Structure 1
Amino acid sequence: MDDVKIGEILLPGDKEQQERQEAKVRSRFWPTFKKAARQIPFSRDLVAAYYCATDRETPFRVRGILLAALGYFVLPIDVVPDILAVVGFTDDIAVLTTAIAMINRHIKDRHYEEADRALADSPDQT
């Protein structure tokens, strides 16, 4: 993945695009996360990013960037197919890592607390 490609993926979009992306992310996040959890070294950050992206108090642009990254994560078809075991999520990890680095200061303690609760409630997700 080159930086230009990641930059294109992480465009925040307009309100309508964000609403479509959020619906897609909400419906597909947990099933995709369950498949990928063992391969993603920053699962807690990823779940916190999910809660940050779905938090209406998060700034519009930040939500858009996170929803774009999470949307890429939940897509069944991407640059490297996720069915290819360990290597399949490497492009998703690159996109997510970039997005989280860009907006890290917007992921609040409450998002991490929600992530911790979600991960504790579902031991099969980690």
Structure 2
Amino acid sequence: MNKKPQQAWELYAKMENGSESFNLLLLIANDCYRMGEFWYAAKAFDTLDRLEPNPEFWEGKRGAIVGVFQHFFCRGWWHRNSPVDTLGDVLQLLRCSTSNQADQIAKVIRKWAKENRLTIS
């Protein structure tokens, strides 16, 4: 991926469904997670979980979502013109999840956003 997760995601989005696109999605999910590019990892694990439900994909998605939140929480992204919309997008991924853990994670994110006076959808 050459540390270009957005380009990898765009390449996947242009591909037709099939084994090649599934394998690319696996690569994006795992490599982005390892590189700390948690937003793209979360999107990829979410798509994988919808295509082929698997507890490992949920675990990857959960970890990546928590990684996105950790960046906001620990690194103060909201003070550096980071798009708060990303947290809204994360909440949308959680809404589409079937795991009961998704609701718990979403509650923590919403509570933190409220305490920090951030408006997220």
Structure 1 length-normalised TM: 0.37
TM-score, structure 2 length as denominator? 0.38
Which protein shows a greater Rg? 2
